[in-house]
Structure 1
Amino acid sequence: MTEKLFYQDSSIKEFTATVESCMQGKDGMFEVILDQTAFFPEGGGQYADTGVLLVGEKEVKVVDVQEKNEIVTHYVTDAIEQGSKVTGRLNYKERFSKMQQHTGEHIVSGIVNRRFGYNNVGFHLGNEEVTMDFDGMLTETDLKEIEWEANQAVADNVKIQVLYPTKEELETMTYRSKIEIEGQVRIVVIPGWDSCACCAPHVDATGQIGLIKLIGAIKYKGGMRVSMVCGFRALLDYNQKEASVVTISRKLSAKPDSVAEAVERLQKEVEAQKEKIRILQEQYLKGVLKEIKPEDTCVLLFEETLDTVAVRNFVNDVMRITDGICGAFIGTDAEGYRYILGSSKKEITNISKEMNQTLNGRGGGRPPMVQGSVKAKQSEIEAFLKAQS
């Protein structure tokens, strides 16, 4: 059994230990077992600690840590002789961040359970954010209130307690747990906020979390998946979003707290310009229509940009004038073309299929109109369709 120093003091950054065994593992790794360790193994939705083992002046990287049958195995990059004295040094910046996230998750899950009766049925602590899956729906207002209350727990700077109750004591306790637990149960208590079975290390007091920020929520398996960042991750998230807002505000010549209104104004201006362009395109296409005669057997239009609805209307209008083939192609020789083909009398579906096979295209539809895309030059398209007419 490995002595787990992370349960004695979650703030340990460095420790000494003796190598009990070292075996060759997979992928060039070595599996090292120590008599004691402060490296937390993967578990409870939280990935393992990383760091180094110092053997004299040599640094051996710890890239993963796993536990089985109370034995903690360190996956390291070099072999270490059995019986060696080593100094373990955690990547504590990463560890502390994980503790901030995990304790923050307990607070949020506790609030959701108390206020709404929902259970946390899934938890993942990733490199960038935490996701929590709840078995019930939460509104935007609910989430804002949960976030505010969670940060009140941070401000209260509550001392976190860890209990190891007996089986009899456990039967009288109220606590959250996602799975049935065999053996000794470890209960992490945040007085006034949450009580939950958990195997992971946590911060000493809620004030060390700094900030809890809910950054997203989606419907998921009949409930909600809520995304969160805490502590320094929340600060980084804020800095990134602030930088984006400042950049946008400069481009729009608006104050940072007015960018939403500025974007809305810009959207209205864009829509107005689109409407003007649509009207001009319709006028242009009406001019093209005036030149078309009933005896025309192949009417082809090539343009870099045109509104899809306007193009469809154009093809319909041409089919009322002539029984021949009408094709509208939007794009360039370099990028290829999107097309709409139509004919009131020709087998336009068969013509489209043959064109796609010949000119590297794809698409389809039902007569009298089909649509798709083709990677060919204008001259090749014109030659093919004129041959069909």
Structure 2
Amino acid sequence: MVTESLTRPTTVGALACQRNSFLFNGFKTTVISCEPVKGKPKDPVKYLVELHDTILFPEGGGQPSDSGYLKCSNDRIPVSYVSRVGLHAKHHVGQYIDPGTTVEVEVDQSKRVDYMQQHTGQHLLSAILESEPYKLDTLSWSMGGVISAKKPTLEINDYFNYIELPRKLTSQEIEQVSHKVNELISINPQQISVIERTPEAHGDVQTSKIPDDYDLEKGVLRTIHIGEIDSNPCCGTHLQRTNQIGSILISPNQTNIRGSNSRLYFMCGNRVVNYGMAVNKLVGTAKSSLSCLESEIPEKIDRQRDLIQKSSKREQFWIKELASYESDRLLAKVKEAGKAFLLKDEYGTLEFLLQVFKEFTNKLGKTPNEYQLVLCGREKSTESGSVLIVSESGEKISTIAASLSGVVPTLKGGGGKKGGKWQGKIVKFTENDWKSVKNYLETEF
């Protein structure tokens, strides 16, 4: 247990979380201030709490903020986020805590370990790429998905972080780098150390990437050392040895960005395990759906794609054939009575209705002078539908659209103000709505 008296807050750069990144709980400290946050009444964060010291890391250096709890009396107050304001760490909480209160700080351990594995892994990967024979500087980096209250689980692509490089790596280089970084994790692990420098001891350390609002004259310059391999300024929390990274998986898929620059995607530690399990589940689902072995999946997918393409071509052929037939019937009705309608209750897709409209207008020509046509279709599986109203008169179109909207309130659409085509959509096309539309059209048309 650590206890501290009420004094000025510890500077970001020398926080307890930065000096001992494996201190996850049992840390006691004192509330220095608790400031209200201006926001909406329903916002969960209502106060910014500053502690004398903290084991909750404030976001910075490409590493997300920790989350955790402040425990005092019988309360266990969630900390959703920790921000850095200059040299100060501010804890975002939902309830007021009196300054002077002693609190015990608890870190979300699994999240912290994940962040450290990704962050330390990035330092190691960048160090290898910056050395011979690659000599590629890391221009920027971004951690992948971050678990939060809004996103409690990660999607499969969220496991990947990326670093931005001046160019793409070749397949052979990716293989070489993968072997090298994993050798430094499993076979030849390196000690990781942190050096804190006061303003007079900055020396030749590059400080260009230090945020402008961090006062180096009053703060602490930290450098992270991976054995003799790498030394870089960094404010984040890190592992103690490279073997704690677990492993690093580098994706062969890279994306271009800003001209010739490239994003190299990678993941570390537990994310590699979770990614493997997620991929295995996908492969298992594919095997079951395709009734084949893993090695046969690509061939089966190619075969299914070919079948879908052939089926789609057949569908397009018969849509045109049926649309031509229906347009002949509708045109005859229009020439006889000046109005006609089409109701298609099953697979009455918008695609089919538009094809009927196209065939109808092509055959219509310039006669008759006045006409009214309504095309309505529904897909029972989704309970959605489409409506086309066609006429030479915008006034007639408006009248029919208003009548149909009265019958089906969920009908929304537009167009045809000067004649032509009005197009609408029914999001929820129930059986009663269908009967009402059918009754209206059979009565009026």
TM-score interval, normalised by the smaller of the two chains:
0.7 to 0.9
- 1:151–1:211 CA contact under 8 A, matched in 2: yes
Distance 1:270 1:235 in 2: 35
CA offsets 1:341-389 (integer angstroms, 9 cap, x no match): 556xx33x554444434433413369885352244723435656x4xxx
Distance 1:193 1:383 in 2: 84
Aligned to 1:302: 343
Aligned-partner SS, 1:162? strand
The 1:276–1:125 alpha-carbon spacing in structure 2 relative to 1, beyond 3 Å, is: closer
1:282 aligns to 2:320 (yes or no): yes
Write out aligned runs for 1:186-205 (5 A): 186-191=222-227, 194-205=230-241
Distance 1:8 1:265 in 2: 58
How far did residue 69 of structure 1 move?
A: 6.1
Aligned to 1:328: 375
1:314 aligns to 2:368 (yes or no): no
Aligned to 1:338: 386
- 1:176–1:197 CA contact under 8 A, matched in 2: no
Moved more, 108-117 or 199-208: 108-117
| Equivalent of residue 158 in structure 1, options 180, 184, 190 | 190
Aligned to 1:4: 15
Aligned-partner SS, 1:61? strand
Write out aligned runs for 1:103-114 (5 A): 103-110=120-127
Distance 1:379 1:136 in 2: 67
Moved more, 375-384 or 250-259: 375-384
- 1:44–1:198 CA contact under 8 A, matched in 2: yes
Distance 2:86 2:208 in 1: 24
Distance 1:83 1:22 in 2: 10
Aligned to 2:139: 119
Instruction: Structure 2: give runs of 5+ residues left out of the alignment.
Output: 1-8, 38-44, 148-153, 406-411, 427-432
Aligned to 1:185: 221
Distance 1:240 1:22 in 2: 44
Aligned to 1:265: 303
Question: How many pairs were matched up?
Answer: 379
Aligned to 2:286: 248
Aligned to 1:91: 108
How far did residue 146 of structure 1 move?
A: 8.9
Aligned to 1:208: 244
| Equivalent of residue 59 in structure 2, options 25, 42, 54 | 42
Aligned-partner SS, 2:414? strand
Aligned to 2:6: none
The 1:326–1:55 alpha-carbon spacing in structure 2 relative to 1, beyond 3 Å, is: closer
Moved more, 116-125 or 39-48: 116-125
Distance 1:300 1:142 in 2: 64
The 1:210–1:350 alpha-carbon spacing in structure 2 relative to 1, beyond 3 Å, is: farther
Distance 2:395 2:183 in 1: 69
- 1:29–1:75 CA contact under 8 A, matched in 2: yes
Distance 2:201 2:190 in 1: 23
How far did residue 250 of structure 1 move?
A: 0.2
How far did residue 259 of structure 1 move?
A: 2.6
- 1:175–1:196 CA contact under 8 A, matched in 2: no
Distance 1:243 1:362 in 2: 43
Instruction: Structure 1: give runs of 5+ residues left out of the alignment.
Output: none
Aligned-partner SS, 1:96? helix
- 2:327–2:357 CA contact under 8 A, matched in 1: no
Aligned-partner SS, 1:295? helix
Give aligned-pair identity as a percent: 18
How far did residue 274 of structure 1 move?
A: 2.5
The 1:121–1:382 alpha-carbon spacing in structure 2 relative to 1, beyond 3 Å, is: farther
The 1:124–1:282 alpha-carbon spacing in structure 2 relative to 1, beyond 3 Å, is: closer
| Equivalent of residue 164 in structure 2, options 134, 137, 140 | 134
- 1:132–1:227 CA contact under 8 A, matched in 2: yes
Moved more, 127-136 or 95-104: 127-136
- 1:32–1:73 CA contact under 8 A, matched in 2: yes
How far did residue 253 of structure 1 move?
A: 0.4
TM-score between both structures, scaled by the size of structure 1? 0.74
- 1:66–1:72 CA contact under 8 A, matched in 2: yes
The 1:217–1:143 alpha-carbon spacing in structure 2 relative to 1, beyond 3 Å, is: farther
Distance 1:126 1:108 in 2: 21
CA offsets 1:62-106 (integer angstroms, 9 cap, x no match): 51445556555556667478475x654433222111111222233
| Equivalent of residue 359 in structure 1, options 404, 409, 412 | 404
The 1:315–1:165 alpha-carbon spacing in structure 2 relative to 1, beyond 3 Å, is: same
Residue type of the partner of 2:123?
H
Distance 1:145 1:330 in 2: 55
- CA RMSD of superposed structures (Å): 4.4
How far did residue 193 of structure 1 move?
A: 5.8
Distance 2:28 2:116 in 1: 23
- 2:56–2:66 CA contact under 8 A, matched in 1: yes
Distance 1:119 1:227 in 2: 14
The 1:245–1:312 alpha-carbon spacing in structure 2 relative to 1, beyond 3 Å, is: farther
